[in-house]
Amino acid sequence: MKKSPLQKARATYSPKLPVVLTGAVEAVLGKPTESVANQDEIRELFPNTYGLPELHFEKKSSAARQANIADAPINVGVILSGGQAPGGHNVISGLFDGIKKIHRDSRLYGFLMGPGGFVDHKYKELTADYINEFRNTGGFDIIGSGRTKLETKEQFDKGLEILRQLNITALVIIGGDDSNTNAAILAEYYKAINAGVQVIGCPKTIDGDLKNDVIETSFGFDTATKVYSEVIGNIQRDCNSAKKYWHFVKLMGRSASHIALECALQCQPNICIISEEVEAKNMTLQEVVNGIADVVAARAAKGDNYGTVLIPEGLIEFIPAVKSLIAELNDMLAARADEFAAVPAAEQRQWVISQLTPANAATYESLPAGVARQLTLDRDPHGNVQVSLIETEKLLSEMVAKRLKDMAAEGKFNGKFAAQHHFFGYEGRCADPSNFDADYCYGLGYTAANLIHAGVTGYMASLRKLTLPSVQWIPGGIPVTMMMNMERRHGAMKPVIQKALVKLDGAPFLKFASKREEWAMNTCYTYPGPIQYFGPAEVCDQPSMTLKLESQGL
Ligand code: FBP
């Protein structure tokens, strides 16, 4: 494989491992835990893995040093699940190095193309030479990823066959909230049947919504937002040079607006919509549009017929009326998928309208036909609407143009409005990890190896104190059941890891809210520039602003 000069140089980077992990460690157990909500239901569903204690690793005293080496090798399986996120290859490298340190004959097997490879027995042994090709690189191509939902007893039993065949006694699942939920269910099942297989999770997703009091961030968020911020900065320079376009930029993040918020903090655009605020204020789509149009008109009055608008991918689902519509559609389509599929495509719109309750039918009818149709199609295997396929940036700019026309007729807008559209998502998901993500991921993998050695199951690898230099991070494990609550999925209540949405009383949002009026009217763009891998720490090793602001006071 031909490598670019940067690829070659980057391959030599040694992730900075937390100092605790550089020698023999011991697991220090904390207090028993409770789930974040619905404790009785979750306890009943996870009788073997509920209430486990948090744990963290400390360096072993010198007297006990030798004992960290296992008597026998450990065979471990690893799965990459869901959307790509920068750093996945380093999790696998860290896991590999970690289990080799514990016993040099340990082996690592990667299941191919996500959980599907586990069920279908498609795997590859990951050797040192093979792994070396992928260190510090972006992407998940080392073994591939997939969105097969691992949830049935048949799948678990089928997977167990291959684990037994390869003598694998621990499985590491690298995924987002849904995949880690399923990892917890698998851990519970294997424990219940005494399968002798540990299951460990790792927090992955560029969306940044798998985090809580104990998991400070998911990996990939840092790099992806830096890539998007670079490009938004470039667009803002262009915008400020030509002074003739309004740029509507949609940013990935299926549900939460963390990515848009982080990019806003980095780039200081004129407008950034935060879905969680739209929901809290019970805003309609038209009110969101009016808000944008007001800023366009106010800037035009100063002679500034240009600007930037950041739009979170998940916005449409947070508009309360649309949210209620999607909830009804989810339940209806889950229960009557075959009936819906049998309706000819040309008649599906009318069929859906006739089946919905009046308020939701009215909302459905009011949406542009393309958007409405999208809401009935293409759910991912977890039942989520694929919001990345909805062109919200175009929808909003078209509605803003219409609104400005009305305002012009009323004498409230006297300017020009020309829009450009962008969607940034896939551009950042496979970027070479920033130093933060390279270190974080390698450390997570290494921590997972130590959790396996500690004999636990149903835990997620964790590193804490992430705004300190990476050598000072604190490795440990968090019982996954601790992050769970009950939510409605596919028409039924299910135990799931609680998704972290943007908190409107949290430091990142408050910082943004305190600045946005100034950013709207004045041109205060910042230009973060590309990720730097080599150079001074203040340029290369900075964590996201979200993480920094959230950690204040910790
Ligand atoms: P995960 O939650 O699996 O990490 O994926 C996140 C994400 O990148 C979202 O931001 C986006 O909506 C979705 O994946 C796109 O999915 P796909 O890769 O299937 O197009």
Taking the C-alpha atoms of residue 206 and residue 224, their distance in angstroms, rounded to an integer, is 6
The pLDDT tens digits for 226-265 are 999 999 999 999 999 999 999 999 999 989 999 999 999 9
Q: Which of 174, 217, 251, 252 gets mutated to test ligand 1 (max ligand atoms within 8 A of its CB)? A: 252
In terms of Cα–Cα distance, which of 72, 180, 75 is closest to 126?
A: 75
The token pair that represents 275 in the structure block: 């879905």
pLDDT mean across residues, the chain: 93
In terms of Cα–Cα distance, which of 543, 520, 502, 532 is closest to 251?
A: 502
- The pTM assigned to this predicted structure is 0.93
How far, in whole angstroms, is CA 313 from its chain's centroid?
Answer: 13
Mean pLDDT on 39-68: 86
Q: Are 273 and 311 in contact (CB under 8 A)?
A: yes
Mean pLDDT on 487-502: 90
pLDDT, residue 234, reads: 98
Mean pLDDT on 470-484: 97
**In the annotation, is 207 catalytic?**
yes
pLDDT, residue 168, reads: 98
Q: Which of 140, 147, 207, 387 gets mutated to test ligand 1 (max ligand atoms within 8 A of its CB)? A: 207
* Active-site residue identified among 97, 207, 209, 294: 207
The pLDDT tens digits for 428-446 are 999 999 999 999 999 999 9
pLDDT band at 390 (very low <50, low <70, confident <90, very high): confident
The pLDDT tens digits for 77-135 are 999 999 999 999 999 999 999 999 999 999 999 999 999 999 999 999 999 999 999 99
Ligand 1 centre to CA of 26 (Å) is 36
Nearest CA residue ID for atom 19, ligand 1 = 83
The pLDDT tens digits for 402-423 are 999 999 999 999 999 999 999 9
Nearest CA residue ID for atom 4, ligand 1 = 205
In terms of Cα–Cα distance, which of 469, 420, 422 is closest to 443?
A: 469
pLDDT, residue 368, reads: 77
In terms of Cα–Cα distance, which of 480, 484, 18 is closest to 203?
A: 480
Calculated CA dihedral for residues 465, 470, 474, 476, nearest 10 degrees = 110
Taking the C-alpha atoms of residue 42 and residue 456, their distance in angstroms, rounded to an integer, is 19
Percent of the chain with pLDDT over 70: 97
